[in-house]
């Protein structure tokens, strides 16, 4: 089965309207032209700039039929069967006369056999025409096709550079092929050209640039965000049990030939400021895969059905970027609600659950939440996600490590500091609160033109009231709820 066979089958199925939504206009037109001998019908092409043209040698454009209503009127009145390819017609569907003319042509199909093929980057079939129409998607190049395109680009570079060969290890070449999966042929050729023609080398630097460029091509609507900077778990204090859990599943996630089940994802529940978001970034860093963040703020749309469409597009982007980590921060704000809520939150939940059940791509979901009671039970049950980890307030040993991380990150010499004493003075502090105390101490010392010392740090800590004190009842309830229901991350 291929595009040529599938499109020919669609045309022979007596469907009057075919919509091809693509940015590869030339490829789509050439595909239709290649079918002429098989379907035995003339093929015409229309653009608003050139009018109607029969795609055979010796014919010139009929500029008299350049206006949308004129060309549709011509097709309707013509007695000649054929395939009529209309390019970028989507703006003219807002005119009722044009929609009616298209419907008239479709209803006459059994008598006149005229097929309208609309090719555009954005084509939504009006409701009254959907019964007459079908959509056709151009297939994306598989790995063998990707290698062929890369080889063609490399050959072109060699011709332009006195026969020199492009330098690339087999591993780097395979990584490039993997990174380009999910893009159209023209996009692959453009990115391969960018990688090779820069210096004639396919290296590790090219791979990270390719992933960034690939994301920018895929996510034109800005529903998911590519996090260019991930974290190392060495910059995350504590969470030892979570780190071990992830290390055991790294091979199964990245190796297509692993006999183990591919891990689906985790839910990180915990006290605010204790490192849930940092841990999400570190998962991608540990596994060496891209990190995508789903932003519910840009996901929701006031128009009915658009929110779910945005989510489906975001999840499709994640699948094409696979293997990757999809970070859904504060997930309860997007799908939380009562059982009687029939609004966008429930529709988003239904869309997300369906995708989680059907997804086969290597997309590891890391969802974070602060309020477990807002989450529906169908999301948190086993099978949707692999595990629920609770990120608790750090113990004394972890607080000491957090002080070390944040002091060292800012170039502060820790030799004269007693980190154990600092840790003893911070029971109930989250990692974020410790970091802010270090930042405040750094500012104070800088204002005094002095170095950060033990006294400055202790003074800032004494002025801080942690969330575990300010909202003691809520924090204590959350910790008690999680005690026997979740797996401790540390």
Asked whether residue 476 is assigned to any structural domain, the reply reads no
Q: 114 - beta bridge partners?
A: 82
438 and 358 share one domain = no
Q: 43 - beta bridge partners?
A: 83
Cα 406 from Cα 399, distance rounded (Å): 11
328 and 412 share one domain = no
Predicted confidence at residue 1, as pLDDT, reads: 46
How many angstroms separate the most distant Cα atoms in the chain?
A: 93
Q: For residue 19, what is the domain's CATH number?
A: 3.40.50.300
129 and 167 share one domain = no
Centre a 10 Å sphere on the Cβ of residue 383 and count the other Cβ atoms it contains: 9
Residue where a domain terminates, one of 386, 411, 438: 386
9 and 111 share one domain = yes
Domains: count for the chain: 4
Burial call 256-291: b when 16+ CB within 10 Å, e when fewer: eeeeeebbbbbbbbbbbbbbbbbbbbbbbbbbebbb
Asked whether residue 227 is assigned to any structural domain, the reply reads no
- Strands of the sheet containing 51-54, edge to edge, are 51-54, 43-47, 82-87, 114-120, 17-21, 133-136
Predicted confidence at residue 141, as pLDDT, reads: 84
Asked whether residue 120 is assigned to any structural domain, the reply reads yes
In the 8-state DSSP scheme, what is residue 53? E
Q: What is the pLDDT of residues 312-344, one digit of tens each?
A: 878 888 888 888 899 998 888 777 655 545 567
Asked whether residue 337 is assigned to any structural domain, the reply reads yes
The domain in which residue 421 lies consists of 396-470
CB 375 within 8 A of CB 284: no
Q: What is the DSSP string of 323-349?
A: SEEEEETTTHHHH---TT--SHHHHHH
Q: What is the pLDDT of residues 385-428, one digit of tens each?
A: 899 999 899 899 999 999 999 999 899 988 889 999 999 999 99
Which residue carries 């009145």 as its tokens?
77
318 and 422 share one domain = no
178 and 126 share one domain = no
416 and 360 share one domain = no
154 and 213 share one domain = yes
Asked whether residue 246 is assigned to any structural domain, the reply reads no
Centre a 10 Å sphere on the Cβ of residue 359 and count the other Cβ atoms it contains: 18
Centre a 10 Å sphere on the Cβ of residue 295 and count the other Cβ atoms it contains: 16
**How crowded is the C-beta side of 29, counted as CA atoms within 13 Å?**
19
Q: What is the pLDDT of residues 219-244, one digit of tens each?
A: 665 677 877 667 777 677 778 899 89
What are the residue ranges of helices labelled H in 231-273? Answer: 240-254
170 and 72 share one domain = no
The residue among 153, 151, 123, 145 whose CA lies nearest residue 136 is 123
Asked whether residue 110 is assigned to any structural domain, the reply reads yes
How many angstroms separate the Cα of 255 from the Cα of each of 224, 246, 337?
A: 25, 14, 38
342 and 401 share one domain = no
| Residue 489, helix vs strand vs coil | coil
**Which residues make Cβ contacts (< 8 Å) with residue 197, sequence separation at least 6?**
153, 157
Predicted confidence at residue 176, as pLDDT, reads: 82
Cα 238 from Cα 59, distance rounded (Å): 74
In the 8-state DSSP scheme, what is residue 464? -
β-pair type (82-87, 114-120): parallel
Q: What is the pTM of this model?
A: 0.69
Q: What is the DSSP string of 263-304?
A: P-EEEEEE-TTSSHHHHHHHHHHHHT--EEEE-HHHH--SST
| Residue 21, helix vs strand vs coil | strand
Asked whether residue 69 is assigned to any structural domain, the reply reads yes
Per-10-residue mean pLDDT of the chain, 490 residues long, equals 86 94 91 92 95 91 90 93 96 95 95 94 90 90 87 91 86 81 84 86 75 72 72 74 91 88 91 84 85 76 65 84 87 67 74 88 90 81 85 90 91 90 92 92 91 91 90 88 85
Residue where a domain terminates, one of 136, 170, 203: 136
The residue among 327, 333, 330, 336 whose CA lies nearest residue 369 is 330
**How crowded is the C-beta side of 132, counted as CA atoms within 13 Å?**
23
Which residue carries 């939940």 as its tokens?
349
- Strands of the sheet containing 324-328, edge to edge, are 224-226, 291-294, 324-328, 363-369, 265-270, 387-391, 487-488
132 and 11 share one domain = yes
7 and 132 share one domain = yes
Cis peptide, bond prior to residue 448, ω within 30 of zero: no
Residue where a domain terminates, one of 86, 113, 136: 136
At 202, list the tokens. Answer: 């396919």
């Amino acid at each position: 089965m291929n595009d040529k066979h599938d499109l020919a089958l669609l045309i022979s199925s007596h469907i009057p309207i075919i919509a091809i939504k693509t940015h590869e206009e030339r490829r789509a037109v050439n595909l239709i032209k290649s079918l002429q001998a098989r379907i035995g019908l003339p093929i015409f092409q229309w653009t608003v700039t050139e009018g109607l043209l029969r795609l055979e040698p010796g014919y010139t454009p009929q500029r008299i039929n350049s206006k949308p209503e004129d060309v549709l009127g011509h097709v309707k009145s013509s007695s000649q069967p054929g395939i009529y390819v209309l390019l970028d017609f989507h703006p003219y569907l807002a005119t009722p006369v044009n929609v009616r003319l298209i419907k008239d042509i479709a209803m006459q199909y059994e008598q006149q056999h005229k097929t309208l093929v609309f090719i555009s980057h954005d084509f939504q079939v009006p409701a009254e025409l959907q019964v007459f129409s079908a959509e056709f998607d151009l297939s994306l190049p598989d790995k063998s096709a990707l290698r062929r395109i890369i080889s063609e680009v490399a050959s072109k570079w060699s011709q332009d550079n006195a026969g020199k060969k492009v330098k690339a290890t087999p591993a780097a070449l395979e990584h490039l092929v993997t990174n380009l999966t999910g893009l159209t042929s023209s996009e692959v050729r453009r990115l391969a050209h960018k990688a090779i023609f820069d210096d004639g080398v396919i290296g590790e630097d090219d791979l990270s640039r390719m992933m960034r460029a690939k994301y920018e091509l895929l996510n034109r609507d800005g529903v998911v965000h590519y996090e260019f900077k991930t974290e190392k778990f060495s910059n995350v204090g504590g969470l030892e049990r979570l780190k071990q859990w992830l290390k055991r599943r790294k091979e199964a996630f990245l190796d297509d030939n692993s006999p183990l089940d591919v891990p689906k994802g985790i839910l990180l529940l915990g006290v605010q400021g204790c490192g849930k978001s940092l841990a999400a970034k570190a998962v991608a860093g540990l596994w060496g895969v891209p990190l995508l963040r789903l932003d519910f703020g840009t996901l929701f749309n006031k128009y009915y059905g658009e929110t779910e469409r945005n989510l489906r597009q975001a999840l499709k982007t994640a699948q094409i970027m696979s293997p990757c980590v999809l970070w859904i921060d504060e997930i309860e704000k997007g799908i939380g609600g009562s059982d009687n809520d029939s609004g966008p939150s429930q529709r988003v939940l239904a869309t997300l659950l369906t995708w989680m059940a059907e997804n086969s791509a290597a997309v590891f979901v890391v969802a974070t939440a602060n309020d477990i009671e807002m989450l529906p039970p169908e999301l948190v049950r086993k099978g949707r996600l692999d595990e629920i980890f609770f990120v608790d307030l750090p113990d004394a040993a972890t607080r000491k490590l957090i002080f070390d991380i944040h002091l060292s990150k800012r170039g502060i010499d820790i030799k004269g500091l007693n980190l154990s004493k600092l840790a003893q003075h911070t029971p109930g502090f989250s990692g974020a609160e410790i970091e802010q105390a270090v930042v405040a101490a750094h500012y104070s010392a800088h204002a005094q033109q002095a170095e950060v010392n033990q006294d400055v740090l202790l003074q800032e800590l004494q002025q801080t009231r942690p969330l575990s004190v300010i909202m003691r009842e809520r924090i204590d309830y959350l910790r008690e709820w999680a005690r026997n229901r979740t797996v401790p991350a540390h």
